[in-house]
């Protein structure tokens, strides 16, 4: 499968879900974005790495990096390889001093926090990015297949009761307004429906 390189393009507080954050990964040299909902501790771990902050005592990801370095283990890349039940799954790829390669299953948020610390690339399979990502124009506006925008009518409205067409329009509206968390919920509902076909 074709792999696409990603970079971190944003980390923002969720306006609708208390304690949640949206990690936005972007296609390197491309127009697609991947919003991922993460918890506050996961967001903090990524932010500490991005800002090169040094806590008084090592946090878990810093401890993992120190441990790996002590035993001459290098992280070469991370790969987001699956989206299952609205959860992204990742793998860490490491090499030890003898050249032995090892892959380790990880939560995507942990993998990104480690990638920031190790300075290693982040990849995703093209199919996952195509199915779950958001396409952005050069002017940072969301590509819209329809001229019509659909603003959400009610937060209480159940997504399962809406047609695919309405969900697509709602998704576009949410992306245009950078409401990535709610856009992720709509995207997940559309993905769930594809899986049931």
Residue range 40-64, pLDDT digits in tens: 889 999 998 988 887 788 889 999 9
What range defines the domain where residue 172 resides? Answer: 145-196
* 137 inside domain: no
Instruction: Give the C-alpha separation, 70 to 102, whole Å.
Output: 17
H-state helical runs in the chain: 40-50, 60-70, 108-118, 126-132, 164-176, 180-196
Edge-to-edge strands, sheet with 32-39 = 101-107, 87-95, 74-84, 122-125, 3-13, 20-27, 32-39, 134-135
Q: Same structural domain for residues 22 and 112? A: yes
**Confidence band, pLDDT 50/70/90 cuts, at residue 188:** confident
Q: Of 99, 132, 165, which residue is a domain's last? A: 132
109-136 pLDDT, tens digit each: 999 999 999 999 999 999 999 988 888 7
Whole-prediction pTM value? 0.71
> What does the chain come to in residues?
197
* 139 inside domain: no
Instruction: Give the C-alpha separation, 56 to 78, whole Å.
Output: 27
């Amino acid at each position: 499968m074709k792999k696409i390189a990603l970079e971190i393009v944003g980390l923002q507080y969720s306006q609708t879900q208390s304690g949640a954050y949206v990690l936005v990964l972007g296609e390197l040299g491309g127009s697609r974005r991947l919003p991922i909902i993460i918890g506050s501790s996961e967001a903090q771990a990524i932010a500490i790495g991005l800002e090169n902050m040094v806590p008084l005592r090592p946090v878990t990801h810093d401890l993992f990096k120190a441990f790996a370095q002590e035993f001459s283990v290098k992280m070469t890349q991370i790969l987001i390889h699956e989206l299952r039940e609205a959860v992204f799954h990742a793998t860490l790829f490491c090499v030890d001093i003898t050249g032995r390669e090892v892959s380790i299953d990880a939560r995507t948020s942990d993998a990104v926090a480690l990638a920031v610390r190790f300075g290693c690339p982040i990849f995703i399979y093209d199919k996952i990015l195509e199915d779950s990502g958001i396409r952005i124009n050069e002017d940072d506006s969301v590509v819209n297949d329809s001229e019509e925008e659909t603003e959400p009518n009610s937060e209480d409205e159940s997504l399962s009761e809406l047609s695919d067409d309405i969900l697509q329009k709602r998704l576009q509206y949410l992306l245009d307004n950078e409401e990535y968390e709610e856009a992720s919920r709509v995207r997940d509902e559309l993905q769930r429906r594809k899986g049931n076909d």
